[in-house]
Structure 1
Amino acid sequence: MRIGFYTSTFNDRPFEEVVDFAASAGFDAIEIDVGGHIKTPDQVEAAVALARSRNLFVSSITYFGNQLDADRAKREALRGKTAEFAGAIGEAGVPIFVIFPGRDDTASDEANYDDFADFANGLIAQTQSYGVTFAIENWPGPRDNFIGTTPRGWRELFQRIRDTRFGLEFDPSHLIRIGVDPYQAMEAVKDRISILHAKDTAIDPESLQAVGYHSKGWWQYKLPGLGLIDWPRFLRQARGAGFDGTLSIEHEDAAYGWPGKDLAARKQGERLGLDYLRNVLSGL
């Protein structure tokens, strides 16, 4: 497995500085955030070339946005730009394009799944010559209601999107905080995992007891190895299922400068995550 990181942690820094850090720190790969480091589709080629010039594998490019926005104009604008990025990413030879399904609160669950599946199947057909894989991250969204972010949601999507060029950016940290067993969840979708996000979650039982699930402050995202996930078990399971792709560290640990605070602390966090994961992999 390659180990990389998601560049969103350094969205306040020039992309050249980010790739220089990744290379000097010993990372194998990088996952590029559109919002921070590739503003338009015509910038994809240059960004990918810059990363490759530092001997970094570009594992994926990630584009935030609600593909089911209830505002039809916003939805169509986002989908149009998504299709443009998909073509540029395919031309650049990047293997994975990560997007987010979102949700339309004015429509039923079934309508949401049908609509997103139609869009995803269209993207797959339009990029057949490139072979790019589309993946969704199981982030539940700002209101914890995005579709396709739980085992039941994945079943709904995969029933509608049969092509294996549609898969998951599987992030166990989100599952921990919503009460889903990540090991059991991964087993059920092991053949549709395209990339793994390496991020952990810590839970404070006293805070949870005081405020309950629907409040805040009882859980925190952490660097891998600093939360509740058993990474040797998790990565052994992934390897046993045939996964040999990229582990992309998504650093959102407030103890190490996130979000957008002390730069040295953020870099230290990335290095700690890299060292930890390398040690885990060496022992499998």
Structure 2
Amino acid sequence: MKLGVFTVLFSDKQFDDMLDYVSSKGLEAIELGTGGFPGDAHCKIDELLHDEAAIKQFKQKVADRNLIISALSCHGNPLHPQKSVAQPADELLNKTIRLASKLGIPVVNTFSGCPGDHENALYPNWPVSPWPHDFQEVLKWQWEEKLIPYWKDKNDLAEAHNVKIGLELHGGFSVHTPATMLRLREACGPAIGANLDPSHMWWQGIDPIEAIKILGRENAIHHFHAKDTIIDQQNMNRNGLTDMTDYAQMKDRSWYFRTVGFGHDGKTWADMISMLRLMDYDYVVSIEHEDGLMSIDEGFTKAVENLKPVMVKESVKEMWWA
């Protein structure tokens, strides 16, 4: 298993400087944004896609630092009811899949998207209650008319390019739990899996270790983010899980993101890493730092320090004791 980082953190650094900095921290992998919400500071997709010389140089710079690229990430909403939002996200996903194939990167990360509630809607509709029954009708329409047809096509595209798609289970999008992840995978194909981020499990009341079990048994974890969350029970009692308080108003929120080890202890993170290995995930743990209480450098550094002791680096070849 390798420790990496989602380099959107270092968007202010030039590509070479970012690589040097990450390498100096003893990491082995980077996850790069190609656009959408993560931006494209370190991976200009249109400059690389049709330029073999640029691709060769790009790959060499990464290899020279003894790094690998774990995933390309283009988080957006390709199912947004407004075409001006959905179409660029869809085009970016297609390009990112093709570039990942050219670079030999096995995973593309994104969101499932969230449609509206009818063809002429203006905004996404995220149903989270089974009653009144209107929400069930919305959910049925979204899955049958939008989600499944769209992701069936993307599954086929990804398979044709020998790439897997890691959907981040995130509130506000149609795939946000292990159950919705497995429903989409069953309907669309095995190239569709999870970019599992425990931080989004905790605030939904889901134990990430159990989520790893549920998804891991179906071989449905394609990538893993390392980010923590803290629950403020007093605010939770007031606002509930689906808290709409702005992220910047941390004192008033039910939950907020923390760097690794500052929401849950080292034993919890060790148990997660161990469960990943038990479920045959032997790829990259990619740090994502969105802690509003720490600077980029401090939050990232503490995440590295807290994860290194619990990472499982060597797989067991045989059980010598039995």
Scaled by the length of structure 2, what TM-score is found?
Answer: 0.77
Corresponding residue for residue 237 of structure 1: 275
Give the corresponding residue for 2:82. 71
Amino acid at match of 1:234: M
Amino acid at match of 2:195: E
Give 1:33's aligned residue: 33
Which stretch shifts more, 32-41 or 61-70? 32-41
C-alpha contact 1:42 1:88 (8 A) present in aligned 2: no
C-alpha separation between the residues in 2 aligned to 1:124 and 1:212? Answer: 35
The corresponding residue for 1:160 is 187
Given that residues 202 and 228 in structure 1 are in contact (C-alpha distance below 8 angstroms), is that contact kept between their aligned partners in structure 2? yes
Whether 1:224 and 2:260 are equivalent positions in the alignment is yes
Q: Which of 175, 198, 219 does residue 172 from structure 1 map onto?
A: 198
User: Partners of 1:58 and 1:271 in 2: how far apart?
Assistant: 20
Deviating more after overlay: 226-235 vs 192-201: 226-235
Q: 2:109 aligns with which of 82, 89, 98?
A: 98
Q: CA deviation at 1:211?
A: 4.2
The Cα offsets for residues 201-259 of structure 1, whole Å up to 9 and x where unpaired, read as 011223333444435323121111111361111111111111101000001112221xx
Alignment of 1:120-269 (within 5 A): 120-140=151-171, 145-163=172-190, 165-190=191-216, 191-213=219-241, 214-216=243-245, 217-228=253-264, 230-257=268-295, 266-269=296-299
Q: What letter corresponds to residue 85 of structure 1 in structure 2? A: T
Shift of 1:75: 2.0
How many angstroms apart in 1 are the aligned matches of 2:194 and 2:142? 18
Q: Which has the higher helix share?
A: 1
Against the structure 1 CA distance between its residues 57 and 106, is the aligned structure 2 distance closer, same or farther, given a 3 Å change threshold?
Answer: same
2:12 alignment partner in structure 1: 12
Unaligned runs of 5+ in 2: 50-54, 119-137, 246-252, 315-322
| Count of residues paired in the alignment | 271
| In 2, Cα distance between equivalents of 1:269 and 1:197 | 15
Aligned partner of 2:48 in structure 1 is 43
8 Å Cα contact 1:48/1:92 also seen in 2: yes
Which structure has more RCO (C-alpha within 8 Å, separation ≥ 6)?
Answer: 1
Provide the aligned C-alpha RMSD in A. Answer: 2.2
* Structure 1: distance between partners of 2:154 and 2:60: 24
Which residue number in structure 2 is paired with residue 260 of structure 1? none
* SS of the residue 2:293 aligns to: helix
Cα deviation, residue 39, structure 1: 3.7
Compared with structure 1, are the counterparts of its residues 189 and 110 closer, same or farther at alpha carbon in structure 2 (3 Å cutoff)? same
| Identity across the alignment (%) | 24
CA distance in 1, matches of 2:173, 2:16: 33
Shift of 1:187: 1.3
Q: 1:233 to 1:89 in 2, by over 3 A?
A: same
- Structure 1 segments unaligned to the other structure (5+ residues): 258-265
Please report how far the alpha carbon of residue 200 of structure 1 lies from its aligned counterpart in structure 2 after TM superposition: 0.7
Larger radius of gyration: 2
Amino acid at match of 2:12: D
Superimposed CA distance per residue, residues 161-185 of structure 1 (whole angstroms, 9 cap, x where no aligned partner)? 222x221100111011121222222
Q: CA deviation at 1:12?
A: 2.7
In structure 2, relative to structure 1, the CA distance for the partners of 1:281 and 1:77 (3 Å cut) is closer
